[in-house]
Structure 1
């Protein structure tokens, strides 16, 4: 009984720890979203408030469902344990008991199956949803330029990861970590170009030097999302224009003053449950094949 209690506490503690980490990552993302929207843009500020509320609701619901599932699983495990103990009292030569490791594997498999079913259901619902519509529009925009999306992991580093991928095509080996470091250093050395666009979400006032320093530290040391300010800094660092393609608005180009072919990113507003995401692009396979023939 003591071992079962310890195992139960370990499972719940791990879930709570993961939930705490996901909430922290969400707050970092939300902060990045807020920083990217100018204070005087009331329309985008209103949309931002709605988007933030939606993200928080979705995460709260997800965490609640996972906690309920864990409690249900633990309850079923207790029932199974009691049943086994009773059978020990009345039966002889019963089959070998399932080991704790096997139970953990079965529980993990059941949770993974449930997760996959939820994903499948979400994909079916999404066929007529915003994500599908956005993907269709982007596919048409990219196809007209003989391009297609190249998926980048949604880990908080997606903007830097997309640029790393684009630079690799130009035989430039800058990593995500290097891009983050150079971005923070450039922004700190050109603070007058960036401070006017950063406001404290609680007071609405422009960042103090201390707050700006913390913002730059987060760029280097956390998975804080990158936005327009960071893209502007990177265009100067690389002395290269960066073009951002999107479904419902014209392309945005930062660093137009540089006479080079732009690095191309795809901005997706509805890519994942947590919202915005950046991907890279690559040449369409068919068109690349035709050009080689």
Structure 2
């Protein structure tokens, strides 16, 4: 699933420690807003999606924590004399305690409890003032500052999260409106990397009376692509290398792994089965492959924001047929 991206600030070489710590606090707030939005997208009853969202949130927390620790370590090693509140250009122990890392903040948010202050010592007879008193007061002050910072960041993150649109909700509503107009209803396919081929298998069974498996569809798509490199090679452009991937290597991966299918595989199978294939999606016109096909049209729905693993395809069945079966 696509989710709101966390904005990452590239640290400037001239940043002072105060600027680094301020940026860390802002990035922690942004992370909380992002995590809040992701958790909103995991609705009740979707255990798989909740698990995926929580795993993604934990990874984002770990990544941000690691980067913050690395930047503080660099600041220690390269500190300048104009950095305030440091000793010899190094971060003091008290400053590190005051810094609120993403995992500490999110742990506080998850528990939803305040950090308890140290209890007052029980009065004793003839108790004399001790030198440890001022140190305990400083500890209480630090705890109070942390709690105040957490409360402020929580409130700011909640406000920012409210401004983030619920892309999953928007996408589902748009696709439902489109399928209602077409007299179609969505049939859920397991989001496991094979979803495109499983959705096409469902469509072939319903509209062509053909029973086939995901493995067979992968094999047929790969064979068709190998047989027509002039048509399909442009689909294999690699933005990282600015070149084309090896077509035979890609086809071997398509046949033997759970690599996701897309437009290229839809086009190949639409020609293999001599039929149009239409894909309904949110915010874009319906995509139709091989409109010159002679056999009954197959219908799919494409999702970009609604599933935790990312892009997904469902099968679209005729609503009238589904109503008759229910009756």
TM range (shorter): 0.5 to 0.7
- Per-residue displacement from partner, 1:170-218 (whole Å, max 9, x unpaired)? 32011110000011011111112111231234311123xxx22111011
Say which SS state the counterpart of residue 182 (structure 2) adopts: coil
Q: Is the 8 A contact 2:236 2:244 kept in 1?
A: yes
Q: Partner residue of 1:159?
A: 196
Say which SS state the counterpart of residue 178 (structure 1) adopts: helix
Query: TM-score, normalised on structure 1?
Result: 0.54
CA distance in 2 between counterparts of 1:287 and 1:184 reads: 33
CA distance in 1 between counterparts of 2:300 and 2:188 reads: 11
Say which SS state the counterpart of residue 270 (structure 1) adopts: coil
- Per-residue displacement from partner, 1:32-90 (whole Å, max 9, x unpaired)? xxxxxxxxxxxxxxxxxxxxxx9xx9966444779x9xxx9xxxxxxxxxxxxxxxxxx
Larger radius of gyration: 2
Q: Partner residue of 1:192?
A: 230
Paired residues for 1:65-80 under 5 Å: none
Q: Partner residue of 2:293?
A: 258
Q: Partner residue of 2:240?
A: 202
Q: Partner residue of 1:150?
A: 187
Establish whether residue 241 from structure 1 lines up as the match of residue 279 from structure 2. no
Structure 1 residues not aligned, in runs of 5+: 1-53, 73-124
Q: Partner residue of 1:13?
A: none
- Per-residue displacement from partner, 1:116-147 (whole Å, max 9, x unpaired)? xxxxxxxxx9x961011110111111111221
Report the alpha carbon displacement of residue 151 of structure 1 after superposing the two structures with TM.
0.3
Establish whether residue 217 from structure 1 lines up as the match of residue 252 from structure 2. yes
Q: Partner residue of 1:26?
A: none
Q: Summarize the Cα distance change of 1:202–1:243 in structure 2 as closer, same or farther, 3 Å threshold.
A: same
Report the alpha carbon displacement of residue 285 of structure 1 after superposing the two structures with TM.
5.9
Establish whether residue 226 from structure 1 lines up as the match of residue 244 from structure 2. no
CA distance in 2 between counterparts of 1:284 and 1:180 reads: 28
Paired residues for 1:41-80 under 5 Å: 61-63=57-59
Report the alpha carbon displacement of residue 274 of structure 1 after superposing the two structures with TM.
2.7
Higher helix share: 1
Structure 2 residues not aligned, in runs of 5+: 1-37, 39-52, 63-102, 108-161
CA distance in 1 between counterparts of 2:291 and 2:239 reads: 30
Q: Is the 8 A contact 2:204 2:298 kept in 1?
A: yes
Q: Summarize the Cα distance change of 1:261–1:179 in structure 2 as closer, same or farther, 3 Å threshold.
A: same
Q: Is the 8 A contact 1:149 1:281 kept in 2?
A: yes
Q: Summarize the Cα distance change of 1:218–1:260 in structure 2 as closer, same or farther, 3 Å threshold.
A: same
- Matched residue count: 181
Q: Partner residue of 1:171?
A: 209
Q: Summarize the Cα distance change of 1:286–1:237 in structure 2 as closer, same or farther, 3 Å threshold.
A: closer
Q: Is the 8 A contact 1:134 1:247 kept in 2?
A: yes
CA distance in 1 between counterparts of 2:54 and 2:240 reads: 23
Q: Is the 8 A contact 1:146 1:287 kept in 2?
A: no
RMSD: 3.5
Q: Is the 8 A contact 1:235 1:254 kept in 2?
A: yes
CA distance in 2 between counterparts of 1:143 and 1:196 reads: 35
